[in-house]
Structure 1
Amino acid sequence: MTEAFVPLLARSLPALVLEAAARHGERIFIEDGDTRIDYAGLPARVFAVSRALIAHGIDAGDRVAIWAPNRAEWIIAALGIHCAGAAMVPINTRMKGAEAADIIGRSGSRILFVVDRFLDTDYPVMLAGCRPPTLEKVVAIGEAGPHADTDWAAFLASGEGIDEAQARARAEAVQPGDISDLMFTSGTTGRPKGVMSAHYQVIQAFTAYVQIAGIRAGDRYLIVNPFFHTFGYKAGWVTCLIAGATVLPHPVFDAEAVFRRIEADRISVLPGPPTLYLSMLAHPGLTQTDLSSLRVAVTGASTIPPVLIERMRRELGFDVVLTAYGLTECGGLASCCEADDDAETVALTSGHAIPGTELRIVDADNRPLAAGETGEICLRGFHVMQGYFQDGKATAETIDTEGWLHTGDVGTLDARGYLRITDRLKDMFIVGGFNCYPAEIEAALTEHPAIAQVAVIGVPDERMGEVGCACVVPRPGQMLDEAGLIAWSRERMANYKVPRLVRLFDALPVNASNKVDKNALRAQLRVPA
């Protein structure tokens, strides 16, 4: 049984834990296999993590990282970090050891919670050869093994000497403006940058999301989107905490498994990419499967056919189908459709600005454009990031003196204030839902001893949407083959970043500024611009 949403008073995530526990009591917060954690029992679970962090010397403002797939311990660890007054640093599970080590090191994370094995990969082993010296303790979620310092149970036991009252006092000391998380996002200029967000920003934005989508206490929310991303973290389990819903983590996207879980687990809220819903509609068991529990669907900013929205409502039974737009630098949510918007609006736009947010479109000289004109999407409001961690220059390049966040995305606003995304950062491409930035991939590829110069572009791919193509100029006298470079890349970068194609050049085309002309490259390779 679901019930209408009543706004909360909490302005920090620790306060949210306590208020949700008092309000929702015996309702289940997390249901993960045999693990059931109700709202009433949540504070004790969370404070157990905080007590261990305090015992280790973690202070307010310190950073603690999590490198694991969607599971109950991820949420409990994150909330324990928040309640200790520290900033949580999520790490993409697709990253290789060196990539994770870079983020752990630059963030100054003192403790890492890491899964022992996931998808046949030993994560502590991957990190062992490049572990930053600032990382004091590796806590394995699962078996500790020789490359982790302790396991989950032993770490929690280490905090038993800290009184729960001390942990509660630390949690109550957390202020709305304190940094809640440091989420590293790739940019157009090389290494990922750490986006700093505050507690109140998360709660205010996703309280609006709960109200717009109509998510209620008692809803059962299957979270397929990874917790290391704002869609799985803030629009996922934090949203459940705000609404009093139940989190059902799903660690790996598998359309068949998701389809079966809807009936078995009586899922009512199911966000995901358009491909998820398309696979459900094409499933041979569609008419024989009970999907009557489904109520709310939320997908990304991609333009999708209006007929898909109509079919999701008619054939899958969703009462509410929404599209939204956001980026890490604004906490993941800037605009959203309304529940009663028509199918064409939902499919072809990303809705209007959420309360407390302004949207505008500007030209190359930062001058506002009229409705219907195309330019860069800028936004301003309560949820714009505090800045990039220890990178004032990049912060100033992204947030102008009037407080407008320049997204780098291109779009239009119609007369109603509804946003339509028409393009994106010139060079960025998306592989299976993951943003890929050529500068970051190129920086990694230039370490190959046989490469003199490289440029990476996205090319269309039927299955993944786009994949990377590495355009390479070999060093004189060096031999380079496609399979060898791809294999070399797989050892050093997340799978979605690995180029799927390699093309050899004697020289790369350049423009008048002597920069690589990627439009000319696309033309040579006959790739649509």
Structure 2
Amino acid sequence: MPILRLQALYSLNFPKISRLLTHPARCNYPAQRALHIVIPGNGPSWPETHLTESYIHNPSQIPFLSTTLGRLIEYQARTIGDRVGFVVAFQNIRKTYAQFSQDASDLANGLVSLGLQPGDRIGIWGTNSYEWMVIFFAASKAGLILVNVNPAYKVPELEYCLNKVQMKAIIAAEGVGPLNYYDYFQKLHPEIHNSAPGNLQSTRLPHLKHIIMLTKTPEKFPGTYSYDAVVSMKRQDNVREVEKRTKLLQSDDAFNIQFTSGTTGTPKGASLSSFGIINAAYFCGHRLGAMTKTKAMVVPLPLFHIFGCVGNLLISCIFGMKCVLPSPRFEPEAVFKAIQDEECQSISAVPTMFRDLVNHPNLANYNLSSLNVALMGGAPCPPELLKALNEKLGIKQVAAGYGATEQSVATFFGILGDPAEISTTTTGYPLSHVEAKVIDVDGRIVPIGEKGELCTRSFGTMLGYWDEEDKTREIIGPDRWMKTGDLAKLTEKGYLKIVGRAKDMVVRGGENVYPVEIENVLLEHEHVLDVHIHGVPDDRLGEEICAWIRLHDHAEMIKARDELETALTEFVRKKLAKYKSPRYYIFYESPLDIPMTPSGKVKKFELTDMAKTRLGLGGKTTFQSS
């Protein structure tokens, strides 16, 4: 059934709403809240759902938000303007909602002065910073389409991204780690140092006219503007133009382009609307108890990623929380200090980050007693990690979620209070207004509990891949059902279990083997810190199973390698069928040994090629992960 957009009931264009809808008999509105939002009271820990087939729709009486980021931040500035909402520890910055909104308006004014027109694409290229957050909202106020550029991109990736979306301007940091971004620009435009700022003429970058550097030493970057210089270009006669653009931008218009990780082929630019990302953040925030359980959120995730900018920054803004950036990139001790200093109640991260936090040698030096909620993306919370989060970080409630860039962040999220057997084996229950189904190869819905491809239909589904209609039609049908490419099962209560990526599946002697199932078992072993499973060629069986293992105490454990491999194999066979036990083990010491996409996904096809070389196996890689 089509999703109804109750926009007229929920517009932020007027100050009061005469009637708010919520779950019947569960109204429990707080005395103060940042928006005219609906805050449901505490409900049961899990829904009373009993499915017989793998289709679910989670209807809701909570209406949608119909607004844009520019109007959203202006509303917050008017209503809770004196509340501190943005803290960047490493830059020593603390800003109220009113100050932040003004900073976004000033930057939007400067961008208008550069001659950028509504609908022009502007990129942001850099690690987490206060300026990154300002740009996110300033682009909306100026009517521009913001393009998130991965900080790890090299020259070919940058060139592809700039030209694919015909980027008119880009705001860039000086670099990250050993990467010097200005050097990259020089390779693409050798005459940049002789060019006048704002008038770039490059054969390789024909659409790019403005490079704006996040720097305090602009003299080092000829041919570019500095961020501060653009802000200083604001003019009084542009104030009305910014106000006009803020009002004219529609919530259904394209606002944000985020490139998929692209473990195979070139990345695709997912075009997202304000309506999609704002409501994705809004309903995630509801599910996670935002406003009622959380006043401050620490954000170690990269903002360029959908989980960072929508699943953290935007949730914080909608619910009037304090968003705390501890460091430009993930640093465990910076996270600890931010939690301690700002008394953060919630933290969002991926499982690898959480493992680094709970195993950090200096953890005991910090007071983390304020923490009570952990949000985990990308996978269920393994039992051993759930226990460690509770015992070492004092976190009592953990919710795992499932989503993708193409879904504006998430379509499933756990319910706080779920029992451990649910939070450690599933990635949540559908968000409000979301439909989901699991289908077989013929497109038919499978019985409950059977494996198949997960499809979703929701308000957050992307508008499409930028300038790639054929690629869009491959995954989104005319009925707006989106094929995720993930193999999954639904429980009778409607919770999601991800089995693996369709292209990650190992076919061993005719048996389908799903890597995530083996990975979850090995993570329960006392010596295993992290694991990655994939297939390698085998003359007799077609494929065999290979496990890359990172140990808690590598130097000591590796001395008895043969015994360790035997113990790991026996451990797997006690819990899974014999054919699912790995044939090969490769032990590694550092996360840097594992090839990853810029957004942190394992490149399993590269891992397979690396394993074939190490193990002396022939044949070609039989699958690739996307």
Query: Which category describes the TM-score, using the shorter chain as reference length?
Result: 0.7 to 0.9
The equivalent of 1:244 in structure 2 is 320
User: Which secondary structure state, in structure 2, belongs to the residue aligned with residue 102 of structure 1?
Assistant: helix
Q: Is the 8 A contact 2:490 2:497 kept in 1?
A: yes
Alpha-carbon distance in structure 1 between the residues aligned to 2:415 and 2:599: 36
Equivalent of residue 622 in structure 2, options 506, 509, 518: 518
Alpha-carbon distance in structure 1 between the residues aligned to 2:461 and 2:477: 12
The equivalent of 1:461 in structure 2 is 548
Alpha carbons of structure 1 residues 188 and 146: separation in structure 2 relative to 1, 3 Å: closer
Query: Is 1:222–2:295 an aligned residue pair?
Result: no
The equivalent of 1:440 in structure 2 is none
The structure number with the bigger radius of gyration is 2
Alpha-carbon distance in structure 1 between the residues aligned to 2:163 and 2:545: 30
Alpha carbons of structure 1 residues 319 and 174: separation in structure 2 relative to 1, 3 Å: farther
Equivalent of residue 96 in structure 1, options 154, 168, 171: 154
User: Which secondary structure state, in structure 2, belongs to the residue aligned with residue 323 of structure 1?
Assistant: strand
Alpha-carbon distance in structure 1 between the residues aligned to 2:396 and 2:32: 16
User: Which secondary structure state, in structure 2, belongs to the residue aligned with residue 270 of structure 1?
Assistant: strand
Equivalent of residue 133 in structure 2, options 70, 75, 82: 75
Q: Is the 8 A contact 1:334 1:354 kept in 2?
A: yes
Which amino acid in structure 2 is aligned with residue 134 of structure 1? H
User: Scaled by the length of structure 1, what TM-score is found?
Assistant: 0.81
Query: Is 1:231–2:231 an aligned residue pair?
Result: no
Alpha-carbon distance in structure 1 between the residues aligned to 2:484 and 2:397: 28
Count, aligned residues: 469
Equivalent of residue 268 in structure 1, options 345, 353, 371: 345
Q: How far apart are residue 29 of structure 1 and its match?
A: 1.9
Map 1:142-221 to 2 at 5 A: 142=215, 143-144=217-218, 145-146=220-221, 149-160=224-235, 162-187=237-262, 190-216=265-291, 219-221=295-297
Equivalent of residue 341 in structure 1, options 418, 433, 436: 418
Q: How far apart are residue 72 of structure 1 and its match?
A: 0.4
User: Scaled by the length of structure 2, what TM-score is found?
Assistant: 0.69
Alpha-carbon distance in structure 2 between the residues aligned to 1:234 and 1:296: 18
Equivalent of residue 464 in structure 2, options 387, 393, 400: 387
Alpha-carbon distance in structure 1 between the residues aligned to 2:210 and 2:246: 22
Alpha-carbon distance in structure 1 between the residues aligned to 2:546 and 2:80: 49
Q: Is the 8 A contact 1:307 1:343 kept in 2?
A: no
User: Which secondary structure state, in structure 2, belongs to the residue aligned with residue 40 of structure 1?
Assistant: helix
Q: How far apart are residue 293 of structure 1 and its match?
A: 1.1
User: Which secondary structure state, in structure 1, belongs to the residue aligned with residue 474 of structure 2?
Assistant: helix
Map 1:120-139 to 2 at 5 A: 120-131=178-189, 132-139=205-212
Q: Is the 8 A contact 1:50 1:84 kept in 2?
A: yes
Alpha-carbon distance in structure 2 between the residues aligned to 1:269 and 1:494: 22
Q: Is the 8 A contact 1:196 1:389 kept in 2?
A: yes
The equivalent of 1:317 in structure 2 is 394
Alpha carbons of structure 1 residues 464 and 183: separation in structure 2 relative to 1, 3 Å: farther
Alpha-carbon distance in structure 1 between the residues aligned to 2:599 and 2:255: 26
Q: Is the 8 A contact 1:322 1:338 kept in 2?
A: yes
Equivalent of residue 404 in structure 2, options 306, 327, 334: 327
Q: How far apart are residue 336 of structure 1 and its match?
A: 0.5
Which amino acid in structure 1 is aligned with residue 622 of structure 2? K
The equivalent of 1:36 in structure 2 is 94
TM-superposition CA deviations, 1:391-425 (whole Å, max 9, x none): 11011111123211000011100001100001114
Alpha carbons of structure 1 residues 238 and 304: separation in structure 2 relative to 1, 3 Å: closer
Structure 2 segments unaligned to the other structure (5+ residues) = 1-29, 38-64, 190-204, 506-514, 517-528, 533-543, 553-594
Structure 1 segments unaligned to the other structure (5+ residues) = 436-456, 466-489, 510-515, 523-529
Which amino acid in structure 2 is aligned with residue 378 of structure 1? C
Q: Is the 8 A contact 2:129 2:328 kept in 1?
A: yes
The equivalent of 2:26 in structure 1 is none
Equivalent of residue 476 in structure 2, options 389, 393, 399: 399
Tell me the C-alpha RMSD between the 2 structures.
Answer: 3.4
Q: How far apart are residue 44 of structure 1 and its match?
A: 1.7
Q: Is the 8 A contact 1:124 1:147 kept in 2?
A: no
The equivalent of 2:71 in structure 1 is 15
Map 1:360-371 to 2 at 5 A: 360-371=437-448
Q: How far apart are residue 6 of structure 1 and its match?
A: 5.2
Q: Which moved more, 1:255-264 or 1:128-137?
A: 255-264
The equivalent of 1:46 in structure 2 is 104
Q: How far apart are residue 284 of structure 1 and its match?
A: 4.4
User: Which secondary structure state, in structure 1, belongs to the residue aligned with residue 489 of structure 2?
Assistant: strand
Alpha carbons of structure 1 residues 156 and 459: separation in structure 2 relative to 1, 3 Å: farther
TM-superposition CA deviations, 1:52-74 (whole Å, max 9, x none): 22122222211100001000001
Alpha carbons of structure 1 residues 73 and 302: separation in structure 2 relative to 1, 3 Å: same
Q: Which moved more, 1:119-128 or 1:76-85?
A: 119-128
Q: Is the 8 A contact 1:2 1:216 kept in 2?
A: no
Give percent identity, aligned residues only.
25
Which amino acid in structure 2 is aligned with residue 352 of structure 1? Y
TM-superposition CA deviations, 1:35-64 (whole Å, max 9, x none): 222111222211111112212222221110
The equivalent of 1:109 in structure 2 is 167
User: Which secondary structure state, in structure 2, belongs to the residue aligned with residue 182 of structure 1?
Assistant: strand
The equivalent of 2:449 in structure 1 is 372
User: Which secondary structure state, in structure 1, belongs to the residue aligned with residue 251 of structure 2?
Assistant: coil
Alpha-carbon distance in structure 1 between the residues aligned to 2:598 and 2:127: 18
